[in-house]
Chains A and B, each alone.
Chain A
């Protein structure tokens, strides 16, 4: 069985809430020259799972991932965990970012492409996760198959679907810069919160 290093902590296998910190792409690229060289050669940035692993390695070097992950978990758990998890193979990956191209944009940058790759790999990891419920109850998946126009697959070998959602403020919105403030607040709040959450060991080998 394939083994992967994952610098994240499982929150709840039932609810599947996992929060990752993706190190800033500029940091990520500077940490691993091979990634930069790969981009320069116009080859795919990273292999399957590799980008997630490298991203988390970079985050670990910056010694922040555990603290931020705990903060993010609280944000999500406070909003969602009161709802019961629906067993399903469907996976939704959400990216919160300050800047994202408008839907009408003709092309994406290396940064955008890399973030999509990270999202796709994270979804695939969850699909492959042996603790993911094997039964697909149908449930209340909100995946929109009609938007499957190629590029990134929204199905998996496990039979579930993958939904990638990018959340950002509108281009002219004053909230755009405020996203940074919110993330800073989360980080600050985490220092006074549950020590047990913050003490989760990373990385953790998951089979």
Chain B
């Protein structure tokens, strides 16, 4: 199994709150060019 250390990934981890205005501020601060969701929506509906 492919394993990498998270500390070497260069990815910043940001903790967010959902359904909160604070998330808007997170977006303003990060200013992403691309946003990726890792979940398939329909799967969430039927889970």
Q: Which residues of A contact B (CB under 8 A)?
A: 16-25, 27, 39, 42, 44-45, 59, 62, 64, 68, 72, 76, 79-80, 83, 91-98, 100-110, 112-113, 115-116, 118-119, 122-123, 126, 142, 144, 147-154, 163-170, 173, 175, 178-184, 186-187
Q: In the complex, which residues 11-45 of chain B have their Cβ closer than 8 Å to any Cβ of chain A?
A: 11-20, 24, 26-45
Closest partner residue, chain B, to A123 (CB atom):
B34
Q: List 28 A-B contacts (CB under 8 A).
A: A16-B34, A19-B34, A20-B37, A23-B40, A39-B2, A62-B40, A64-B40, A80-B27, A80-B28, A80-B31, A92-B31, A95-B35, A96-B37, A101-B6, A103-B7, A110-B1, A113-B4, A147-B12, A150-B10, A164-B11, A165-B32, A166-B14, A167-B30, A173-B15, A173-B17, A181-B19, A183-B39, A187-B41
Complex Cα gap A106–B47 (Å): 30
Q: Which residues of B contact A (CB under 8 A)?
A: 1-20, 24, 26-45, 47
